[in-house]
Amino acid sequence: MPKTLILVGHPDLVHSGTQTFLKEVATTLTDTTWWDVTTQPVDTSTQIARLQGEMRRYDRLIFQFPLYWYSMPGVFKQWLDTVWTTPFVYGRAGEQPPLASKELGLVVTFSQAPDSYRLGGREHFSLSELMRPLDALAQAAQMTMLPIFPIAQFAYMTERERQHLLVTYAQYLSLPARAHFSDRVAWFQQWLTQNAGQHPEYAAWAAALQSQQDELADLHDTLEQMRQDEEQNGRIE
């Protein structure tokens, strides 16, 4: 499992229901660290060097932020301008960039409908287009981009949708990239077992998963086919 560092840049973190929810999920995971970048002191080069040294210890960095005018909030960008110095991104002459081969994930929250960000949608541009500057940064640092993890309209989610978000977000943080379905099931089983203390029903679910791996694999194939059909019909971006 990758060691993951979540860098959260939110101008009003304590009042964000979405971020509070995500933080609760993140704390259930081992090998996952949560940073609120807006409260970090970054006034001296020693403080900056310490943060850079910390970041090098992780395999996966996550930039997590609400979309403000189609990009990351200014407070996060300012942290990035300050802490991600030129030698930290490109490496010193003759050395590999410090973040080379690490993964960069983006968890982007917004209040518009999920299908707003696409050609012909309300916001015209896709998140992939709007995140180009961060993609360019990842390329400069020789990092590998993970697919964007969008979270639309958290406030309107049903309990069931939040449960789904909980699991997929936890997987985004801790599953190896390009994990196969069987890896996901194994991960989910382990996660259920770990959290069965607080949620007794999880133990039964984990046992059910164990006995139904084959059926689940079949089910997965069917669902995957349906998803692909739907994509071709253009209902999902």
CB of 150 to a second copy, least distance (A): 15
What is the chain's alpha carbon radius of gyration, rounded to the nearest angstrom?
19
Rounded CA gap, 102 and 121, in Å? Answer: 33
Nearest C-alpha neighbor of 58 from the set 137, 173, 179:
173
What is the rounded (10 degree) CA torsion for 156, 162, 164, 165?
Answer: 90
| Per rule CB under 8 A, count of chain residues that contact a second copy | 31
CB of 36 to a second copy, least distance (A): 16
CB of 102 to a second copy, least distance (A): 17
Q: Under rule CB under 8 A, which residues in 110-149 are in contact with a second copy?
A: 123-125, 129-130, 132-137, 139-140
- Lookup result for tokens 């959260």: 8
Q: DSSP per residue over 93-110, as a string?
A: TTS--TTTT-EEEEEEEE
CB of 11 to a second copy, least distance (A): 7
Residue 131 or 175: which CB sits closer to a second copy? 131
- Lookup result for tokens 């973190």: 13
Mask for 70-109, x = binds a second copy (CB under 8 A): xxxxxxxxxxxxx-x----x--------------------
Question: Which residues contribute to the site for a second copy (CB under 8 A)?
Answer: 11, 68-82, 84, 89, 123-125, 129-130, 132-137, 139-140
